[in-house]
Each structure stands twice: as structure tokens, then as C-alpha cells.
Structure 1
Amino acid sequence: MSTRIRTRQRSLGLLAVVIALLWMFPVYWMLNSSFLPYNRIRASEPSFVPLNGTLSAYSRVFDSNFFDTLRTSAMVTGLTVVAALLFAFLAALALSRFRFRGRRSFILAVLIIQMIPAEGLFISQFKLLEGWQLLNNVIGLSLLYTAAVVPFTIWMLRGFVNGVPRELEEAAQVDGCSRLQAFFRITLPLLAPGLVASGVFAFLQAWNEFTLSLVIMTRPENMTLPLWLRTFTEANRVSDWAGIMAGAVLVAVPVMIFFLLVQHRMTSGLVSGAVKG
């Protein structure tokens, strides 16, 4: 390998490290600020290292209704992920494996739905849930999140299903499997990475969503975590930035745990078929 190539590789590696550090700095700043006392956060000179830090911000977070809010967000996110994957998977399977009248129109409708601004649907969604008596209800918010996530998830899973050859199912049927058995024994295991990658998208959408939950969950006891973080910033009162940062750290922890659990499957899924079809 020539000196020129080695120099280029080292330069690119150094550039990648610099970009990674810049990307990680906001996360570090959030963690660092969560340990700083109030006077150091408001100081004109920034504190890059939490020397003589304190856990008082975390104490304030735990003294609030954090765990109740965490339970609400977990229930909404769990229901959204399960429902979105179920409906989107069945729809993607029908679009990829069957030919029926209106198939192309349905695919086009899925794309058009993605172009509708979410804010334009707030009034109709609020009235709909109000009529069903599902305001300030985990099921009601989960229904809206599922409806918002399903179109893109269908499109994403369709690429994964198209990436699995029909011949594998046909070969299994020749060996004596029914069509349903061939699907569960052959196709479904191959689609697991795609389901995980799509589940990650649904998880992030439901976990971090703010505006829709602000409209639907109007009672303090029914807040999701993004709404709960807002309680540390109120009118006519100084913002508790240490509390906001500590709360943001705790909100991010479940996301990091989830990513660690599905990292391998998600990586293989993103490179195996999400852009096919």
C-alpha cells in the first residue's frame, strides 16, 4: 500500500473521529449539565466537567411523577409497536405476494398519506377520540400513533418481503408444507431483521412524539414523557435546566437499552432489503 493511500485513509479516519465527537458532544453536554448545580449552569463560563457535581436534579425528577409517566409512555409505545407491525406486516405481505384489483392504488395511497401534515388532522382526530370517549386514554393515543406509523412501515416492510424469493415458499410446499406452514417456517424467520428495523422506527416515533400527545393527553396524570419534560419549564418561573437535562437523560435510557437489545438484528435488517421493491 502506497504512502499516499495510507495518508488518505488516516485523514479519513481522523475526520470520522472528529465528526463522531461533534455528534456525541450534545449527548455529553446533556449528561454533564444534569450533574451541575443551578449556579454553575447559569454561570457565564461553561463547565465542561461536572466537578463537585450533585444528584439534586435527579432527586427532583424522581420526586415528580416520573415513574407514572414512564409507565404511560411504555404502554403507548408498546401498543403502537405491536399494532403497527401486525397491520403493516399483513398489508406488506398482501401487496408483495398477491395480485388484486386496486393494488397499485393502495400503494399510491400509502405514499400520499405520508405527505399530509400531521397538524392538519389534529381537530378531526380530537373530535374522533372525543366521540369514542378515548381522550386522555392510552388506547386512544396508541390508535393515533399506529395510524401515523403504519403507512411508512408498510412501505418499509414491503421491501423486505419482496427481498424473500417466492421460490423458497414454493419449494417448501413441494416438500409437503401447506402455504401457511411454508410461510411460518421459511419466510417469517427471514423477515425477522426487517420486522426489527421497522419496529425501531415505530418505537422512536411513539416514544418521542410530542404535539399529538399534547392535544390528546390534556390531564397531568396522563402525560407522556415528552410532555412531562415540559413541566420543568413553566411560565413566570425560571427554567430548571438541570432537571430538564436529568429528565432527558432518563428518557434516553430506555431508547439506548432498546437499541442495544436489537442492534444486531437492526443492522442486518437495514442492509438486507429495506430499499428493495
Structure 2
Amino acid sequence: MSPRRRPARRPGARLRRAVLNALGLGVFVVAVFPVCWMVSTAFKPNDEIFATTPHPLPAHPTLRHFDTVLTGKVAGVPFWHYFANSAIVATATVAVSGLLALLAATAVARFRFRFRTGFLVMLLVVQMVPAEALVIPLFTDLARLDLLNDLAGLIAVYVAFALPFGVWMLRGFVAAVPRELEEAAALDGAGPLRTFFRVVLPLVAPGLIATSIFSFITAWNEFLFAFTFLKDQDKATLPIMLQFFFGRSGNDWGPIMAASTLFTVPVIGFFLLVHRRLAGPGLTAGAVRA
């Protein structure tokens, strides 16, 4: 028998595909252009930054702005101190929110208890509340707990904001794990903890990585709560540092763009480090590990 020929594509399908590709390309350009302009401006000397005719690429690249940010002090504090504070806050937020979200998602997906539906609805309602409306209540709570001007209080706030999304995301991953795999592990003599770490955890790892990326970006980029809750400059994070380059008489755009470029590098690095786990091994690999 002759091989079956594929049906020819209709002109309407080709046009639709071309339109979708054009829209996707347009979205990509709109999203990437500000980042490219930021990086380009970071390497431009001041005369090119304020030139009447802007150019996309620097004609005479310079590292002067990066040297100003890395070796100088902003409000009396070096750049690496701000970086260390942001790293501590972001790392702790990812670790604590990931652990709590995984445990809560496992409980919601595996057990039936009273007010379970109400708990899930509450998670959605919490995400709908504007962050600006919670500044004063959170400020009052942290003051009562003596956590103002403390990185621990800021971490607690970020964990609270990252948990609803993490629980909803991981709930679907945990629910997708067949119970038969856990039962098979139990028949083989594995206890609850070993079953959880050897069967459930490898299968929900892609979801855990996705929530970790969200938590990391939330803690790394947040400005409002950090600016409100932290008083001492030596406890400030990178977003607070950036606002010191903006002044009443003018903005120092070179260091602003250089600091912003350095600010985005850890986020990109964190994503490149964990993005392979987003396409995890799947159910088969989890079953083999069990």
C-alpha cells in the first residue's frame, strides 16, 4: 500500500498560523525591548545617554557606571551589602514557602476534612486583596511582634504572600500522583516519610520549581513592604537601593541602568539553574524510584 498522504493545509489555517506567529513575535519584541535598552544604556557614557538622537547600541561602551555601583556606596552602604540582604530574604522565602506550600497542598489533595472547600476559596480571596491595603495592618502586626526593621519580619510577609499561589499550584501536582504508587511503596515496606520523599516529591518537583521561581521573583523585586518595614539603611534590600539614584534635581540614569542590570542577573541565573526541572522526569521515573 502506498503511504497515506497528509491533507493539504487550508489557506485559512495558514493565515491563522501566520497571524498567531506575528502576534507572538510582537509580544516578544514588546517584552524584550525594555530589557535590551536597559542593558545598552548601562554601557553608554553620559553624553550618549542624554543625546538628542538616541541609538540602540553604545558607540563607545564603558564600564564606568558598573564601577560606580559596585565600588561606591549608596547612602553609606556598599552594593554587596544590599545584595546580601536581598539574597537572604529571597532564599529564606523560597525555602520556607516551598516547604509550607508542599505540606499544605498534600493535606488538601489527599485528605478530606471540614472546611476544606472554604480553605481553598479563602486562598483565592487572599490573592485578590491589593497589597497596598495590607501595609498598615501588617505594619501594626510586625510592631506588636517586635519584627519591624528586621529581615525576619520581611521574610514572614513574603512567605505569607507566596503561600496561596504555591498551595494552589502544588495541589494539582499532588492530586495528579496516582495513589496506587503510594500503595505499592507501602506494600514494599516503605514508611510514610520514605514514600513521600521517594514517590511524591520527585513527581511534584516541576510544580515545586515553578512555585519557587514565583516566590524568588516576589521576594527579590518587592519594594513597598521593604521600604515601609525596614528603617536602617544597612538592612535595606536592592529595590530600596535603586530609589537613591533618583533625585529632585535629576536622575543618574547610568548607575540606575547598571544597577538594574545587575539586579536582574540573579533572577535570570536562578531560572536557568532550575528551569530544566520544570520538565521533570514524569510518572514513569517516579514509579521506578519507588
The TM-score normalised by the length of structure 1 is 0.89
| SS at 1:39 equivalent | helix
| SS at 2:95 equivalent | helix
Larger radius of gyration: 2
State the distance in 2 between where 1:6 and 1:131 align: 63
Gap regions ≥5 residues in structure 2: 1-7, 282-290
Q: What's the CA shift for 1:23?
A: 2.7
Which residue number in structure 2 is paired with residue 251 of structure 1?
263
Q: Answer yes or no: is 1:225 the counterpart of 2:233.
A: no
CA distance 1:268–1:7, shift in 2 (3 Å): farther
8 A contact 2:38–2:257 mirrored in 1 = yes
Q: What's the CA shift for 1:199?
A: 0.5
State the distance in 1 between where 2:160 and 2:112 align: 24
Which residue number in structure 2 is paired with residue 275 of structure 1?
none
CA distance 1:93–1:2, shift in 2 (3 Å): closer
Q: Answer yes or no: is 1:98 the counterpart of 2:106.
A: no
Which residue number in structure 1 is paired with residue 67 of structure 2?
59
| SS at 2:128 equivalent | coil
Query: Percentage identity across aligned positions?
Result: 42
Q: Answer yes or no: is 1:74 the counterpart of 2:87.
A: yes
8 A contact 2:203–2:280 mirrored in 1 = no
Gap regions ≥5 residues in structure 1: 270-277
State the distance in 2 between where 1:28 and 1:248 align: 12
Once the two structures are superposed, the pairs formed by residues 1-277 of structure 1 within 5 Å of their partners are 16-17=24-25, 19-62=27-70, 63-64=72-73, 65-235=78-248, 237-268=249-280
Write out per-residue CA displacement over residues 98-132 of structure 1, whole angstroms, 9 at most, x where no aligned residue: 11122122112111111222112211211222222
Moved more, 102-111 or 171-180: 171-180
State the distance in 1 between where 2:165 and 2:185 align: 31
CA distance 1:149–1:18, shift in 2 (3 Å): closer
State the distance in 2 between where 1:153 and 1:2 align: 42
State the distance in 2 between where 1:179 and 1:264 align: 28
Q: What's the CA shift for 1:6?
A: 7.4
Moved more, 73-82 or 12-21: 12-21
The TM-score normalised by the length of structure 2 is 0.86
| SS at 1:114 equivalent | helix
8 A contact 2:93–2:158 mirrored in 1 = yes
Q: What's the CA shift for 1:181?
A: 2.2
CA distance 1:7–1:253, shift in 2 (3 Å): same
State the distance in 2 between where 1:88 and 1:143 align: 14
| SS at 1:48 equivalent | coil
Equivalenced residues, count: 268
State the distance in 2 between where 1:110 and 1:19 align: 31
State the distance in 1 between where 2:238 and 2:279 align: 27
CA distance 1:11–1:115, shift in 2 (3 Å): closer
State the distance in 2 between where 1:232 and 1:14 align: 38
Letter in 2 for 1:246: A
